[in-house]
Amino acid sequence: MLRTDAVEVTPLSTNQFSSGPRLAWMFNTYVPSFTQNWQAAAFQAAAWDIVSDNGNGFAAGRVQSTTTTDAQVLNFANVMLSASANKSGTGATFYQPTAGPRYSQTLFNASPDASVPEPSSYLLIGAGLLALSQIRRRQ
């Protein structure tokens, strides 16, 4: 279940986060062109795999696919993992929740300028998070 209350976070620059440069590259390369919810879900799966398993794919480790994992999401997540290997980006800020046992997720903001994302961007990321939470519950 997604929280609706405020959660205290600590901002981390790209270089303060162990996978930050790779995630920044992936975020800046892919997210601006997303038009479908499944793309946001694939990005979140790839990001979890990079953070949890160093981007080794979904066959082994803490982030694994199952027979119910959507093939389109899984394929695109693997494309992003492969493309982001040995890549490095900047201009991202990561927000890491600071309290509680279930606050392991890291949030992204890769807009170094003052532009405001379109509401549809928030909907895409939110839908992706919801889809992945359902996948995780099934496991």
Q: What is the pLDDT of residues 105-137, one digit of tens each?
A: 555 555 444 455 667 777 788 888 888 888 888
- Is residue 53 in a domain? yes
- Is residue 92 in a domain? yes
Structure tokens at 90: 């900047």
Q: For residue 84, what are the domain limits? A: 10-138
CB crowding 125-137: b at 16 or more within 10 Å, else e: bebbbebbeebee
Specify the pTM: 0.65
Confidence of residue 14 (pLDDT cuts 50, 70, 90): confident
Split into its structural domains, the chain has a count of: 1
**CA distances from residue 80 to 4, 12, 102, 114 in whole angstroms, order as listed:** 30, 22, 26, 27
pLDDT of residue 3: 55
Structure tokens at 31: 């997210």
